Amino acid sequence: MAVISASMVKELRDRTGLGMMECKKALVEADGDLERAIENLRKSSGMKAAKKAGRVAADGVVRVAINGDQGTLLEVNSETDFVARDDNFSAFADKVIAKAAESETTDVASLMNEELESARSALVQKIGENITVRRVAKVDASVIGTYVHSNEKIGVLIGLVGGTAEVAKDIAMHVAAVNPMVVHPGDVDPIVIEKEREIYVAQASNSGKPPEIIEKMVGGRIRKFLAEISLVEQPFVKDPDQTVGQLAEAAGAKIIAMVRFEVGEGIEKEEIDFAEEVMAQARGN
């Protein structure tokens, strides 16, 4: 039996919005498995998809560049936002994106030649924070759109066949704001769809309706789920009366590629309990 800590209960509560005791019970039943606890809660309570924790574990900036028919997206990390806004850090990020745009590789280790690594090491020594080049992505298309949010924390590349760079940029802005999972519904992993179906079936079974009605209910929810996470099915942020797919079609374009980086996503950050830290110091620990 896994030990259920207060931090585990807090994380589940943050992600679901449910009560503390309900979260603790769910974790006990799931033997400490957070994701399984979320699935079980959704099945039993009809809870909507768990909210993303949203805690950014690393700071830094994103950069984009276009070189002919190829767009490049880059993330460079620092430990704090203060450093991310430093002119020396910004200049280093500019130097890396310039090199990345010239290169065909998306492998960071291959990209970081002796000159860039030397510049990074010097910056670490000067600033006193760890600086890392985290990831690079590329899109090849006849029409490329880019967007970087004003705080430089979100960057997007969009590739089109047909259309214009202006339309591609509008779509990139939409992706930055809404964060779709895939371009087309058919791009969704069947495992993801099956997991959602299991949850919807469990929820609908409590309605007492006959199996054929439940199947229709589940089918409708699956279609809604796919529309919500698919770029071409989402209402366009600038004009909700049309979908992004309709926007592209009206411009004679087809969306063939989408990449979105958000600084620090997917990196866990150590959280310090300052009250406990003060108590430890008071105890002389």
pLDDT of 42 reads 72
Residue type, 180: P
pLDDT of 128 reads 77
Give the whole-angstrom CA distance, residue 213 versus residue 201.
Answer: 11
pLDDT of 45 reads 56
Superfamily of domain 59-183+247-262: Elongation factor Ts, dimerisation domain (3.30.479.20)
pLDDT tens digits, the chain, 285 residues: what are they? 788 888 888 888 777 666 677 788 889 999 999 888 888 877 775 554 454 333 333 799 999 999 999 999 999 999 888 889 999 999 999 999 999 999 999 999 999 999 999 998 888 878 878 888 999 999 999 999 999 999 999 999 999 999 999 999 999 999 999 999 999 999 999 999 999 988 888 888 877 788 888 888 888 999 999 999 999 999 999 999 999 999 999 999 999 999 999 999 877 665 545 455 445 545 554
**What angle (nearest 5°) sits at the alpha carbon of residue 68, between those of residues 171 and 170?**
10
Domain residue limits, the chain = 1-55, 59-183+247-262
For 137, other C-beta atoms within 10 Å of its C-beta total 18
pLDDT of 40 reads 84
Of 190, 191, 178, nearest to 229 by C-alpha is: 178
What top-level class would CATH report for the domain 1-55?
mainly alpha
